[in-house]
Structure 1
Amino acid sequence: MTIEQPVRSAGRLSASEMDDVLALAAAAGELDGVHPLSEDVVLRVRGDVPHDGRHLLAYAGDRLAGYAFVAGPEGGELVVHPQFRRRGHGTGLLAAAGTGPLGFWAHGDDPGAAAFAQRNGFARTRVLWQMRRSLLEPLPDIPLPDGVTLRAFSPGADEKAWLEVNARAFAHHPEQGRWTLDDLRTREEEPWFDPEGFLLAVDVAGTLLGFHWTKVHPAAGDDPAIGEIYVLGVDPAGHRRGLGAALSVAGLRHLAGAGLTVASLYVDESNPAAVALYRRLDFTVHKTDVAYQRA
């Protein structure tokens, strides 16, 4: 007989708990076809970046049956191991998260997640699209504005300027605009980080005007290696007409030149200017993530 344990709450996970959470997420991703944890939450599971959220762990006997990262109303994540679904672990994790405003992301627009959210008083509040395009198809020629050149990011020298421009470019974005030096340096230490793929647009005085940070995901399952528009931003204080489009193409050319055949990006459905730009560049919707919130 399997004994259900009380949900455990922790600010930081032990090494064994971290392994269990990542293994649970991998099992869920294999069955569902989409990984249930975002990059930000994986970094917090690993303890690589500081945070003020909570890890919740639900057990069936000595096995981890469910996991949630609780980060208030702005979006946590919740996943139940495929072997332990429909046994109340998701509801138990929500109960342990407490009352009041709360938010969770569902990766993939899954009807089961939507029904679970509705039953528990959560409303659909935000939609994030993953869009893709082939890099084997021609890219348009979009030159940089006059007086603007590109160079690679220089670790140890460009962090301050990049954080300032990133904060202004994403001032109204609930996640990206709040990046700290710890967030940036954590990514610089990741095995995928390549400063040559972190393109900075500067003027003749060397002032940073915008950037296109690319990321390469290794091949996995049926997916080939994929080049991502990881973060693309233009400083609204020094906006140059057409710079965003030119940076987009420059980064995509960099990825194609590295041998990648597919490009991806994430964009809010509610950002019409960005969606229009990416549609002009022949990106189409590949996958949908949904944020659910409870007031």
Structure 2
Amino acid sequence: MSDRRIEELTELTAADAAAVTDLIQAAAAADGQPAISEQGRLRLRPGSREGVRHVLLFAPGAAGDAGGRGELAGYGQIDGTDPVEAPAAEFVVHPGHRLRGHGRALGRELLAATGKRLRVWAHGGHPAARHLAVRLGLELFRELRQLRRPLDAGLTGLSEPRLPEGVTVRTFVPGQDEQAWLALNAAAFAHHPEQGSMTLRDLLDREGEPWFDPAGFFLAERGGALVGFHWTKVHQPQGLGEVYVVGVAPAEQGGGLGGALTAIGLRHLARDRGLRTAMLYVDADNVPAVTVYERLGFTTHETDLMYRTET
């Protein structure tokens, strides 16, 4: 399709951000989940992120014509903020513009923009995404599982949380706990750059989201110092409660704090928020974590796949 137009930008205008958001929502309605992650969607907002690039694909058409560029048919995002790993990317084609080669064109553009050193997410692992990955010469190397378990007021199958001696739990206080939490998060996830590299801006962006609720953000302390946390999230339209992230200071790991914090958060989601299903994400190769969650009654609901250029 020779009249296809692709633009690469370091920052989106408000109009382009709105158009991309609409595209992501249309695709999510068709596919069952967003093709662009929460982090990627937050990065559509004004204010450039160093190392983040936006790739917009326009197709000919009058309806929704974006300033003479055509209709927005596809969107990709490149995250090059990790100083060690290859850039990570996500991309999506509008349901009304699929089966026309736009996905392959976007994928090739992302590869060209990163010197063919790239990691690509396929959320939900749909067959079409698997097929496109093969066509682009990518290999599967990571599986991120979404686990779910039912909740009820009696929290069937969950024992009472038992905190290690000397540890107390309270909830997050916006404007007070940000820096201490960021330091703990970086230490707890030093092995996991996607989570451990979260910045103050990333945290404040999430605090500004409608779903943010400090009453569901639990902090564990020992002697006044933070040693663990469980941040929960409610997906209101779906009626889902998420174990958004659980972190424990390295010195406290292995003592049962993570399990106790997980149970505290699940009780909050069931009893305080009245939710009937809990979900979480965990890497398939993180066998200890998968084992813990399966013991808590979680089972695999779906899998996100990450591909990379062949090594």
TM norm. shorter chain > 0.5: yes
**CA shift for structure 1 position 74:** 4.1
Find the partner of 1:259 among 271, 274, 279: 274
What fraction of aligned residue pairs are identical, expressed as a percent? 48
| Unaligned residue ranges in structure 2 (runs of 5+) | 61-69, 81-85
**CA shift for structure 1 position 197:** 0.7
Specify the SS of the correspondent of 1:175.
helix
Query: Could you say which residue in structure 1 is the equivalent of 2:175?
Result: 156
Contact 2:14-2:46 at 8 Å conserved across structures: no
Q: Is 1:45 aligned to 2:44, yes or no?
A: yes
Supply the distance in 2 between the matched residues of 1:33 and 1:191 (Cα, whole angstroms): 21
Supply the distance in 1 between the matched residues of 2:102 and 2:47 (Cα, whole angstroms): 27
Supply the distance in 2 between the matched residues of 1:63 and 1:30 (Cα, whole angstroms): 19
Contact 2:172-2:218 at 8 Å conserved across structures: yes
Specify the SS of the correspondent of 1:157.
coil
Find the partner of 2:162 among 143, 147, 163: 143
User: 1:48/1:243 Cα in 2 relative to 1: closer, same or farther (>3 Å)?
Assistant: farther
**CA shift for structure 1 position 71:** 2.2
Q: Is 1:63 aligned to 2:71, yes or no?
A: yes
Alignment of 1:24-43 (within 5 A): 24-43=23-42
Supply the distance in 1 between the matched residues of 2:48 and 2:221 (Cα, whole angstroms): 29
**CA shift for structure 1 position 240:** 5.9
Alignment of 1:107-122 (within 5 A): 107-122=123-138
Supply the distance in 1 between the matched residues of 2:54 and 2:142 (Cα, whole angstroms): 23
Contact 1:166-1:177 at 8 Å conserved across structures: yes
Supply the distance in 1 between the matched residues of 2:97 and 2:105 (Cα, whole angstroms): 12
**CA shift for structure 1 position 48:** 6.3
Contact 1:59-1:66 at 8 Å conserved across structures: yes
Q: Is 1:94 aligned to 2:93, yes or no?
A: no
User: 1:125/1:191 Cα in 2 relative to 1: closer, same or farther (>3 Å)?
Assistant: same
Contact 1:123-1:294 at 8 Å conserved across structures: yes
**CA shift for structure 1 position 168:** 1.1
Supply the distance in 2 between the matched residues of 1:173 and 1:243 (Cα, whole angstroms): 19
Supply the distance in 1 between the matched residues of 2:127 and 2:175 (Cα, whole angstroms): 45
Contact 1:43-1:49 at 8 Å conserved across structures: no
Q: Is 1:291 aligned to 2:299, yes or no?
A: no
Q: How many residues align?
A: 289
Query: Could you say which residue in structure 2 is the equivalent of 1:273?
Result: 288
Contact 2:125-2:304 at 8 Å conserved across structures: yes
Q: Kindly report the root-mean-square deviation, in angstroms, between the aligned alpha carbons of the 2 structures.
A: 1.6
User: 1:246/1:35 Cα in 2 relative to 1: closer, same or farther (>3 Å)?
Assistant: same
Supply the distance in 2 between the matched residues of 1:146 and 1:68 (Cα, whole angstroms): 48
Find the partner of 1:209 among 209, 227, 247: 227
Detail structure 1 runs of 4+ shifted over 4 Å in the superposition.
none
User: 1:141/1:191 Cα in 2 relative to 1: closer, same or farther (>3 Å)?
Assistant: same
Supply the distance in 1 between the matched residues of 2:228 and 2:135 (Cα, whole angstroms): 43
Query: Could you say which residue in structure 1 is the equivalent of 2:65?
Result: none
Whichever residue aligns with residue 165 of structure 2, its letter is D
Deviations 1:129-160 (A, max 9, x none): 11111111422223111111110111121111
Query: Could you say which residue in structure 1 is the equivalent of 2:218?
Result: 199
Specify the SS of the correspondent of 1:190.
coil
Supply the distance in 2 between the matched residues of 1:206 and 1:291 (Cα, whole angstroms): 39
Query: Could you say which residue in structure 2 is the equivalent of 1:4?
Result: 3
Contact 1:129-1:289 at 8 Å conserved across structures: yes
Supply the distance in 2 between the matched residues of 1:22 and 1:9 (Cα, whole angstroms): 17
Q: Is 1:172 aligned to 2:210, yes or no?
A: no
Give me the TM-score of the superposition, normalised by structure 1.
0.93
Contact 1:3-1:60 at 8 Å conserved across structures: no
Supply the distance in 2 between the matched residues of 1:240 and 1:278 (Cα, whole angstroms): 15
User: 1:74/1:268 Cα in 2 relative to 1: closer, same or farther (>3 Å)?
Assistant: farther
Give me the TM-score of the superposition, normalised by structure 2.
0.89
Whichever residue aligns with residue 83 of structure 1, its letter is G
Q: Is 1:126 aligned to 2:142, yes or no?
A: yes
Q: Is 1:15 aligned to 2:9, yes or no?
A: no
Query: Could you say which residue in structure 1 is the equivalent of 2:263?
Result: 249
Supply the distance in 1 between the matched residues of 2:47 and 2:280 (Cα, whole angstroms): 24
